[in-house]
């Protein structure tokens, strides 16, 4: 089985890491999370495999938060919240992505819509609390 051979052990570790976290991590974050189980992994390998997975459609990029690209193993269309204070990214499964609007966009512009990204920004719960403390 591919997963167990030495050749693909690190590649699999990266994908497994991404699939097992809710943090929507950056390459660096994946690298750090893997230190425990794969202390000999290289950051270049993380970057290379993330690029590979994305080209295969196994993962998607959420764009850049505070200078670093963030990745998500969930490729279904769904909505995100990004904390502008600490950079935390979380899913908003309660909110429905307005995919239907894509058709309207196509009609009016002649573009071919392939993806839709809805992101809310603001303060996460803990940063909101911190702000309150500081002002009080």
Q: Which option in a copy of itself, DNA, none does residue 111 bind, with CB closer than 5 to 8 A by kind?
A: a copy of itself
Segments of 8-105 assigned E as strands: 60-65, 68-72, 80-83, 89-91
State which of residues 43, 44, 51, 101 lies at the interface with a copy of itself (CB under 8 A): 101
Region binding a copy of itself by CB under 8 A among candidate stretches 1-9, 23-31, 40-48, 81-89: 81-89
Where does residue 57 fall: left (phi above 0), alpha (psi -120 to 50 degrees), or beta otherwise?
A: left
Residue of 60, 56, 51, 55 whose CA lies nearest to 19: 60
Instruction: Write out the residues near a copy of itself by the rule CB under 8 A.
Output: 63-64, 69, 79, 81, 83-84, 90, 92, 94-96, 98, 101-102, 104-105, 108-125, 128
């Amino acid at each position: 089985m591919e997963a167990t051979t030495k050749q693909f052990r690190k590649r699999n570790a990266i994908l497994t890491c991404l699939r097992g976290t809710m943090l929507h991590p950056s390459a660096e974050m994946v690298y750090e999370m893997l230190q425990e189980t794969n202390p000999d992994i290289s950051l270049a390998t993380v970057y290379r495999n993330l690029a590979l997975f994305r080209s295969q459609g196994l993962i998607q990029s959420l764009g850049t938060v505070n200078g670093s690209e963030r990745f998500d193993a969930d490729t279904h269309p769904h909505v995100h919240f990004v904390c502008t204070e600490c950079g935390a990214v979380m899913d908003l499964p309660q909110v429905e992505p307005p995919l239907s609007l894509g058709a309207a966009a196509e009609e009016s512009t002649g573009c071919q819509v392939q993806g839709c990204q809805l992101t809310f920004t603001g303060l996460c719960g803990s940063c909101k609390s911190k702000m309150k403390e500081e002002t009080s």
